[in-house]
Amino acid sequence: MDEIREEIENQTTQLADLVANQRLVEFKEAFLELHSYEQAQIYYDLAPETRHVVIGILTDDELAEVFDALEEEPAAISELLEEMSPRHATHILNKMFTDNVADILGEMDADEVATYLSLMPKDDANELRQLIEYDDETAGALLATEYLAIDPNYTVGEAMQYVKKEANEAETIFYLYVVDEAEQLVGVVSLRDLLTHPDALPITEITNTRVIAAHPADDQEDVAMTMRDYDFMALPVTDHANHMIGIITIDDIVDVIDEEAASDYSGLAGVDVEIVDISPLAAAKKRLPWLIALLFLGMSTASLISHYEALVSQAAILAVFISLITGTAGNAGTQSLAVAVRKIALNEENPLWKVILTEITIGLLIGVITGVTIFLIVGFWKANWFLGLAIGISMMAAITVANLAGSLIPMGMNKIGVDPAVASGPFISTLSDLTSVLIYFSIAQIFLSNFVNQH
């Protein structure tokens, strides 16, 4: 389906040519035939001068649709708005869906926001003021207020008339929310049920009163998982007194799932992978903080080995296995970290004692098998079974500890309210280097007499 992207690029060039040649009628016709996603991509890719002409020939409704479909960062969209007069931009904002407007205003300076809001009708401005307040990554930040609300006294026919009248304004027409005079949500009617029941039937007969609703403070990931499980196209958001506030639609949830996935992946890698198209300097800047922080953690491992320098000069063979033991333990720790982070994300949390017991068991199982393997390899290779034993035992212990750390650290972070997904594989590897080296040299010391330098 890559052709689609290529097509958009070709169309951008063609459409820009039409504008350049002042063939504006043709341009407008061709542009409006496109899907709003394509319109948005093209609008964004045009040169500012061309965009200036386009702004002049599209209606406010048409421009609002383009702006609703822009997938860029809110900051980039707000720059596009600044290409228009504040009054014009406000007209566009007024015709956009409130969730998108709130995202954009949320990234602006306070005085810019004040300008736009002062130019809006008072009610709209107040509504937006409230939406901007919701924290990022919550249900509140995702909600739009363009939903279909009907009276509990309606009949199916009346509800249908209402849908027909409002269809073009609503974010979704698949659900109608039944709201009483106190603005409390009493139930949901699906458009499917509306279509398959006779006009005279009271709406109450097909209202589902067992409604699953989100609250504005709910974590967006929880909302996403509920909508995924229930296959909902939209979810109502209510306050704690059950007043209807807005809806969250599935297209926003698709973006949330994508975002959360990229952020978990970034966390595990210890680098933000979400912005890929940047200069080497910017890329280096993004990667350095973790690397330098871990360099200092790595220094503790170095200074620990430094304590054992005398031991190493007596038995240089010990140096041979440092990276093997720290590496393998680090790998096991990374695996256990990833599993733990996933478990937390899926709410599959077990009591602490059970996690510790399980992870020690897994660690010992992996450790014993890996330990025996390396015992045999080293025993045969160096023809020294004591050395093999020292390496094997160290490996086993180091893996068990790394495994436990990989599980407990994200759990602990989650307990104190830090997103466990930021605990990266590199962090666990570097931390487990320290414990592995400590374990290795402590055990090696016991067996020392068996592998002092033979030269």
- Classified as helix, coil or strand, 120 is coil
**Counting contacts by CB under 8 A, is residue 376 touching its own copies?**
no
Read off the amino acid at residue 67: F
DSSP 218: S
- One residue of 46, 186, 377, 448 binding its own copies per CB under 8 A: 377
**Counting contacts by CB under 8 A, is residue 255 touching its own copies?**
yes
172-191 residues near its own copies, rule: CB under 8 A: 173-174, 191
Instruction: State both tokens at 18.
Output: 């039409």
**Counting contacts by CB under 8 A, is residue 15 touching its own copies?**
no
**Counting contacts by CB under 8 A, is residue 12 touching its own copies?**
no
**Counting contacts by CB under 8 A, is residue 365 touching its own copies?**
yes
Rounded distance, CA 174 to CA 54, Å? 33
Which residue, 108 or 178, has its beta carbon nearer to its own copies?
A: 178
Which runs of consecutive H residues, i.e. helices, occur in 189-249? 191-195, 220-230
- One residue of 54, 163, 439, 443 binding its own copies per CB under 8 A: 163
Which residue, 20 or 32, has its beta carbon nearer to its own copies?
A: 32
- Residue 301 CA, chain-centre distance (Å), reads 34
- One residue of 54, 63, 305, 389 binding its own copies per CB under 8 A: 305
**DSSP line for 347-382:** T----HHHHHHHHHHHHHHHHHHHHHHHHHHHHHHH
Beta strands in 131-258 (DSSP E): 148-150, 175-179, 185-190, 234-238, 244-249
**Least gap, CB of 260 to its own copies (angstroms):** 8
- One residue of 369, 376, 418, 446 binding its own copies per CB under 8 A: 369
**Counting contacts by CB under 8 A, is residue 87 touching its own copies?**
no
Rounded distance, CA 398 to CA 374, Å? 13
- One residue of 281, 351, 416, 417 binding its own copies per CB under 8 A: 281
Rounded distance, CA 212 to CA 215, Å? 10
Angle at 385 between CA 439 and CA 404, to 5 degrees: 25
**Least gap, CB of 115 to its own copies (angstroms):** 30
**Counting contacts by CB under 8 A, is residue 229 touching its own copies?**
yes
**Counting contacts by CB under 8 A, is residue 157 touching its own copies?**
no
- Order of strands across the sheet that contains 185-190: 148-150, 175-179, 185-190
**Least gap, CB of 409 to its own copies (angstroms):** 14
Rounded distance, CA 434 to CA 436, Å? 5
**Counting contacts by CB under 8 A, is residue 292 touching its own copies?**
yes
**Counting contacts by CB under 8 A, is residue 167 touching its own copies?**
yes
Which residue, 257 or 422, has its beta carbon nearer to its own copies?
A: 257
Which stretch in 54-62, 178-186, 326-334, 411-419 sits in contact with its own copies by CB under 8 A? 326-334
Of the candidates 129, 52, 119, the one whose C-alpha atom is nearest the C-alpha of residue 90 is: 119
Angle between helices 48-57 and 3-20 (to 10 degrees): 80
337-356 residues near its own copies, rule: CB under 8 A: 337-339, 341-343, 346-348
**Counting contacts by CB under 8 A, is residue 394 touching its own copies?**
no
**Counting contacts by CB under 8 A, is residue 217 touching its own copies?**
no
398-427 residues near its own copies, rule: CB under 8 A: 425-426
DSSP 321: T
Rg of the chain on CA atoms, in Å: 30
**Least gap, CB of 414 to its own copies (angstroms):** 14
**Counting contacts by CB under 8 A, is residue 33 touching its own copies?**
yes
Cβ neighbourhood burial of 53 (10 Å; 0-12, 13-18, 19+): middle
- One residue of 48, 111, 231, 416 binding its own copies per CB under 8 A: 231
Which residue, 117 or 256, has its beta carbon nearer to its own copies?
A: 256
- One residue of 39, 90, 145, 328 binding its own copies per CB under 8 A: 328
Which residue, 74 or 327, has its beta carbon nearer to its own copies?
A: 327
Instruction: Please say whether the dihedral angle defined by the alpha carbons of residues 70, 71, 74 and 79, taken in this order, is positive or negative.
Output: negative
**Counting contacts by CB under 8 A, is residue 9 touching its own copies?**
no
- One residue of 228, 243, 412, 442 binding its own copies per CB under 8 A: 228
Q: What are phi and psi of 57, to 5 degrees?
A: -105, -10
Which residue, 76 or 369, has its beta carbon nearer to its own copies?
A: 369
Which stretch in 20-28, 55-63, 75-83, 220-228 sits in contact with its own copies by CB under 8 A? 220-228
**Counting contacts by CB under 8 A, is residue 240 touching its own copies?**
no
**Counting contacts by CB under 8 A, is residue 445 touching its own copies?**
no
Exposure string over 378-403, b if 16+ CB within 10 A, otherwise e: bbeebebebbbbbbbbbbbbbbbbbb
Which residue, 61 or 83, has its beta carbon nearer to its own copies?
A: 61
